[in-house]
A and B are shown apart, each in its own frame.
Chain A
């Protein structure tokens, strides 16, 4: 087990190096002057000269590459053109917002998807199964930005139940009287629509995977044994079949992470949720290269690490898996 984890970790490090290198090469291959892409055009000549020295842009490529790696591992990503502040600062401010929205959405849709998938498989062929499967198929293929726009149009604009965009209301956060609780409620209120959008988009795939895994599991001999022993149906379903059927769902969380991250960025953009995904989209449209680069590298690192965790978790959960 330890050897497996170490081997996978080494793999992640190699892949990360590859991504870093590809990005380094692309920044210098792209048409135009790499200096203009890394140094803010609005800086004074002295400041620009200082930054060029710091990034080693006046040095040969090999030195630049080493400096680039050193800067990555020390968290120094230069200055954002748009904000005029260190990129790392901007990123660290946005990261918690994305983590909050994204993990809540993934956990919620996985839990609901798994439990509904369990029910659909148990009542295979009956109307509840048909209804759940069709619901999953249809919601799973909706176009996410459009769902987000509809959410805003119906629930925020017409019904006025939720705020149209943003994450906080300034009047609550600037009011010194407002307690922690009022602020938590405020964020939760802003989070309902983006969360609902991500949930609608994602629970379907978990439901479909769980349903087919559960159907396979229900054919196993140990389920027959459990039935023969006269165990209650509910016990067979929830304690014998479901935990074993849920294993493929764990893998699918890892594999569908890339898909969910695309969705997360789109949701953040439509709802103006101040997260990493929206920051990447904004940085790209404002030609803020240092910020875009850092946001992208962060997302890539997170994806690689999460896949590592999912693999390890899978090996831990299923003793039959030995690498």
Chain B
């Protein structure tokens, strides 16, 4: 029973009753309260804020001087890898490009790859999961077997194999490939949720009222599975960022973008890893921290959505 009905009932006669807050806003406010109380969630948010700031700042260095362009800018006075200085705060790479501006550009690529691949994977996973759960029978069986099959495949190696057949992949193809191979986990969870929702009285009520299948799925089931989908999106973001970085590290990234994985591939392949710690350390720290940030955010959201977990941590 929502608390506002009680307050409404005891309202004195003369004064107008305040409009009840919508259940959605109430749920959001409650969720936000739990989220703020979670230390992991707060750390994750702060870290992500810093990375977002880095991504925004990535437009600054090339605007200051073309030699700070992450891909094509070369410092004519350097032309090889030197350590940090006032001119290059984090040093330069093997051809005299500024490491700091590459690092900032990498943040942009990480967000782009992570969020777009995760979003596509979630859209696919939610559609397949809802279809399988709602339709049942043969459709359900076939879709879930397909999901099982894709789920156990090592995504990095599959994308590598496709890169072998279709030549160099650009960043959007990589994003698409990651999305195509990372939806099954989501679809399983969404299917389970849909199956349990299907048994609830409000779905029967909608059906009796003459709602079509599409209307039931989109108006009644979708809003109830969305929070779960968002939770899974944070975990997909981390896996997408890591797969893109690993692909770039192995030398199969988009040659036109500067990602953190690409920076590691350069430091490794040009034999600078023993000589240039200023170049080896930052990209790895960034990839690890952004993954950690999204992971912490996911675990905090898990707690918001699953009251069982909430009680457990409060007891401890």
Contact = CB atoms under 8 A, between A and B. Distances in A.
Interface string B269-310: 000011001001001100110011001100000000000000
Interface of B is mostly: helix
A261 interface: yes
Interface string A285-300: 1010100100010011
A26 B177 CA distance: 14
B250 interface: yes
B154 A143 contact: no
A284 B164 contact: yes
Interface in A145-180: 145-147, 149-150, 152-153, 157
Contacts of B118: none
Contact of A149 (B151, B156, B162, B280): B280
A292 B161 contact: yes
B250 A257 contact: no
B287 A259 contact: no
B313 to A, nearest CB: 9
Contact of B264 (A37, A141, A145, A287): A145
A280 B160 contact: yes
Given A281-B250, A304-B152, A31 B167 contact: yes
B250 A266 contact: yes
Given A280-B157, A299-B157, A137 B164 contact: no
B273 A142 contact: no
Contacts of A261: 154, 157
Contacts of A141: 238, 288, 291-292, 295
A146 to B, nearest CB: 3
A275 B163 CA distance: 20
B288 A146 contact: yes
A131 interface: no
A169 B118 CA distance: 44
B208 interface: no
B160 A258 contact: no
Contact of B149 (A18, A254, A262, A277): A18
Contacts of A285: 250-252
A258 B295 CA distance: 19
A300 B312 CA distance: 39
A63 to B, nearest CB: 22
B24 interface: no
A107 interface: no
A262 B264 CA distance: 17
Q: Which of B156, B157, B252, B312 has the most CB of A within 10 A?
A: B157
A299 B264 CA distance: 26
Contact of A284 (B151, B249, B252): B252
Contacts of A283: 164
B316 interface: yes
A144 interface: yes
A15 interface: yes
A255 B151 contact: yes
Interface in A21-48: 26-27, 30-31, 37
Given A141-B295, A142-B288, A146-B287, A257 B152 contact: yes
B273 A143 contact: no
Contacts of B163: 284
B153 A303 contact: yes
B153 to A, nearest CB: 6
Q: Which of B161, B246, B280 has the most CB of A within 10 A?
A: B161
B165 interface: yes
Nearest to B158: A296
B242 interface: yes
Interface in B206-221: none
Contacts of A31: 166-167
Q: Which of B40, B152, B292 has the most CB of A within 10 A?
A: B152
B237 to A, nearest CB: 12
A75 to B, nearest CB: 20
A245 interface: no
A129 B312 CA distance: 14
A115 interface: no
Nearest to B250: A281
Contacts of A152: 273
A262 B182 CA distance: 14
Contacts of B154: 258-259, 261-262, 265, 299, 303
B284 A143 contact: yes
Contact of B273 (A125, A149, A254): A149
A289 B284 contact: no
Interface string A122-135: 00110001000000
A143 B152 contact: no
A143 B164 contact: no
A221 to B, nearest CB: 18
20 contacts: A31-B167, A137-B295, A142-B291, A143-B288, A144-B246, A145-B249, A145-B268, A149-B273, A149-B280, A153-B274, A153-B280, A265-B157, A269-B250, A280-B160, A283-B164, A285-B252, A287-B164, A292-B164, A304-B152, A307-B152
- Shortest Cβ-Cβ A-B pairs, 10 listed: A146-B284, A125-B316, A262-B156, A284-B164, A143-B287, A30-B165, A141-B291, A141-B292, A258-B154, A261-B154
Given A157-B274, A296-B157, 4 more contacts: A26-B165, A141-B238, A262-B157, A281-B250
